[in-house]
Structure 1
Amino acid sequence: MVASSPRPEPMPAATIASPLLVAGNRCGGYCAGTGRKVRSVRRNRAREPVHMRETVVASELDLALVHALQLRPRASWAELAPPLGVTPGTLARRWERLTGAGLAWVYAAPGREFSRTRCSAFVLVRCRPGARGRLAERLAGLREVVTVELTASGSAALLLDVLAPDLPSLTALVLERLERLPGVTGVDTLLTTSLPLEASRWRLRSLDAGQLAALGRAGARPRDPVSSVGLDDVDHALLDVLVRDGRAGFAALAEHTGASPATVRRRLRRLTESGVIVFRCDMADELTGLPVPVTFLGRAPARDVNAVHRTLAALAECRLVAAVTGRDNILVTLWLPGVGDIQRRETALCARLPSLTVTDRIVGLRTVKRMGHLLDQQGRRTGTRSIRPW
């Protein structure tokens, strides 16, 4: 079972190199001309071996694989191999290499049912100078705080994504825990009323039209739930595994839960079709080519909000659109190629959406935690602090 301790589960350390770096260099990687993986070892002054980190170069096939898993996160390698033009074994090896390096990962996240029946919010945290790093580390240890981002905005030092089973639980978290943390000088809470676009629908755009057609649709859109879906111990045990590894097999899930593979299959189908969970394939910044996240806060007249949501959600670089409470009623997160694109994108948006007034631009400096997964300064996954918002 998943441990209750907040200690993160470590991931193998690795780096991604520029394609200009040749395989088999002295820092490790693949031995040129042989395809063999080699481990570089040096010794410190005490003559103890120190293993260098493996160098991983992402190829076009790797990018296509990640895009395919965004569309069908739990598809078998045999299903994905024909559209990608390689063998299942090749895909399995590629995926093991990517996940081992922390460059890509699949996991279960709260789905549409959560936003309708439970409570989520974006929280802006202000703090004293010098306290931000310590606060980020402490906040990353809280299960309810699923995402922690250090920002360059003057209005907040940290941007949090918080999930709770209900409004009283969220209120207790903000008033009794977040506001009382040492170094915190202010907290603004923006309750989420709807999510016209959530992160699982963002795409890498590495597949061509033929590959997309061969892969088909990721599946039917889940029906709108009319009430909260009841979860028992078996469901929670499944979720505890899937938030860490969304591609865990039915046999492994059955062993973890003590249920039969057939029962696990039925439960998983119910969880996905009801919108309790959605599977995501996420990746490090190096793979996206969009290393600058910016969150725009803005407001629009109520009569125009839905049209603004649709326009924002159609943008290729848009990762999330949320309707929020407070002075502003729209929150949108874009992933952009560079800092210089922020002003250009805002100008284009305001020209296209004259009823939208942008009130703040929150630029992400570093994401410490994203939906329970801990990231290093390059956005590579280094471990997990599993979430349990259900």
Structure 2
Amino acid sequence: MSELDLALVHALQVRPRASWSDLAPLLGATAVTLARRWERLTGEGLAWVSAVPGPAFAHGGCTAFVFLRCAPAARERLAARVAELPEAVTVELLAPGRADLMLDVLASDPGTVHRFVDEELAALPDVLDVECVFATSLYAEGSRWRLGSLDASQLSVLGRPRAGDAAGTPLADLNALDRALLDALVRDGRTRLTELADLTGTSAATARRRLHRLTTRGVVAFRCDVAPAVSGLPVSVTFRGHAPAHDVNRLHRTLATLTECRLLAAVTGAANVLATYWLRDIGAVQQRETAACAHLPALHITERLLGTRTVKRMGHLLDGAGRRTGVRPIRPW
């Protein structure tokens, strides 16, 4: 990975669909060079851009975290099987403990999550136990995480990405064309308008208009994901803990500001805080827990879940090194 590669990835984390010509002056390279480097990064599974639920999803959709326990010999087999299910947008293998797999589940409502958990997951032959908690607030998630390769002046030039309207568009209002566009963009969030038009059987003008509507109304957002070879953070740890209700809303001002915070949520259940960090080595786990408790003294960590491998991240299948190898499109809309 060159410095230009890292800067390019960071720029796309801020503006995932920016044109190469827009990014060229900022990064000091030609548009052709940027396009060629991005093609190499995506071809090697090191970085990719995809469509994800936008801010409106927090109002009209449902996010849950599911913990599965299975027999030790069934871990890889179960992870591969669950990764084929579109509701399980992220699947992570955990170090042996009280749970063997952690899933991120997105659905239109809690009832759909319950049906998925009770009728599909619990019915799988390898599953011994299931726990499901719902996110009541998301203070940090993957699309907000940054690589940190650009300086302040470069970030200022990029500007703040325009946030979608949190009120959003009801999911039921999406038509067949909207859903076809979303399917294509989940696979590759940088698909050009002309290609989107060909894939969905419409004109480029219509594709542009419908995509603009989906983004400005907060239905869809875009994010740039990376393999550990790019981030330099190969260790994933998820802390579960409890904080008094009056302290929970302080999470976004405390734990979310800590370095390497990937996910931070207030959740249902006795352990009402869930936080995931990407770290440089196993020794940093204790340091991160100590820092979290120092920032929020009322927080009591009840469980530490060490990720051993991410099998699927937001619909994208990953190999043992965290490189993208394929897609199983998510359809939470």
TM-score by length of 1: 0.83
What is the aligned counterpart of 1:316 among 247, 259, 270? 259
Post-superposition CA distance 1:353-378 (Å, at most 9, x none): 11111111111100000001000011
Query: Equivalents in 1 of 2:284, 2:278: separation in Å?
Result: 10
What is the aligned counterpart of 1:327 among 253, 256, 270? 270
Alpha-carbon shift at residue 221 of structure 1 (Å): 2.1
Confirm or deny that 1:222 pairs with 2:173: no
What is the aligned counterpart of 1:210 among 149, 153, 163? 153
Query: Equivalents in 1 of 2:12, 2:168: separation in Å?
Result: 29
Post-superposition CA distance 1:98-142 (Å, at most 9, x none): 100000000001122112211221000001121111100100010
Larger-gyration structure (1/2) = 1
Alpha-carbon shift at residue 228 of structure 1 (Å): 2.1
Number of the residue aligned with 2:111: 168
Alpha-carbon shift at residue 224 of structure 1 (Å): 2.0
Number of the residue aligned with 2:327: 384
What is the aligned counterpart of 2:218 among 259, 264, 275? 275
What is the aligned counterpart of 2:127 among 161, 184, 202? 184
What is the aligned counterpart of 2:50 among 97, 103, 107? 107
Query: Equivalents in 1 of 2:96, 2:242: separation in Å?
Result: 18
Query: Equivalents in 1 of 2:54, 2:301: separation in Å?
Result: 28
Query: Equivalents in 1 of 2:137, 2:294: separation in Å?
Result: 25
Do the aligned residues in 2 keep the contact of 1:308 with 1:356 (CA within 8 Å)?
A: no
Alpha-carbon shift at residue 259 of structure 1 (Å): 2.1
Structure 2 residue matching 1:264: 3-state secondary structure: helix
Do the aligned residues in 1 keep the contact of 2:164 with 2:219 (CA within 8 Å)?
A: no
Number of the residue aligned with 2:39: 96
Query: Equivalents in 2 of 1:73, 1:348: separation in Å?
Result: 31
Confirm or deny that 1:60 pairs with 2:3: yes
Which structure 2 residues correspond to residues 352-367 of structure 1 after superposition, within 5 A? 352-367=295-310
Number of the residue aligned with 2:61: 118
Do the aligned residues in 1 keep the contact of 2:312 with 2:318 (CA within 8 Å)?
A: yes
Q: Which has the higher helix share?
A: 2
Post-superposition CA distance 1:174-202 (Å, at most 9, x none): 11111111121100001111211121000
Query: Equivalents in 1 of 2:288, 2:96: separation in Å?
Result: 17
The residue identity in structure 2 corresponding to 1:76 is: S
Confirm or deny that 1:195 pairs with 2:144: no
Query: Equivalents in 1 of 2:61, 2:112: separation in Å?
Result: 10
Post-superposition CA distance 1:57-86 (Å, at most 9, x none): x11110000000001100000000001001
How many percent identity over aligned positions? 61
Do the aligned residues in 2 keep the contact of 1:116 with 1:194 (CA within 8 Å)?
A: no
The residue identity in structure 1 corresponding to 2:18 is: A
Structure 1 residue matching 2:320: 3-state secondary structure: coil
Query: Equivalents in 1 of 2:168, 2:100: separation in Å?
Result: 38
Confirm or deny that 1:78 pairs with 2:21: yes
What is the aligned counterpart of 2:101 among 158, 176, 181? 158
Alpha-carbon shift at residue 153 of structure 1 (Å): 5.0
Confirm or deny that 1:243 pairs with 2:201: no
Do the aligned residues in 2 keep the contact of 1:125 with 1:158 (CA within 8 Å)?
A: yes
Query: Equivalents in 1 of 2:326, 2:3: separation in Å?
Result: 26
Q: Which has the higher contact order (CA 8 A, sep 6+)?
A: 2
Q: Which runs of 5+ in 1 are unaligned?
A: 1-57
Query: Equivalents in 2 of 1:101, 1:60: separation in Å?
Result: 17
Confirm or deny that 1:255 pairs with 2:255: no
What is the aligned counterpart of 1:300 among 237, 243, 251? 243
Do the aligned residues in 2 keep the contact of 1:153 with 1:361 (CA within 8 Å)?
A: no
Matched positions, count: 332
The residue identity in structure 1 corresponding to 2:11 is: A
Alignment RMSD (CA, Å) = 1.2
Q: Which runs of 5+ in 2 are unaligned?
A: none
The residue identity in structure 2 corresponding to 1:182 is: P
The residue identity in structure 1 corresponding to 2:44 is: A
Alpha-carbon shift at residue 320 of structure 1 (Å): 1.1
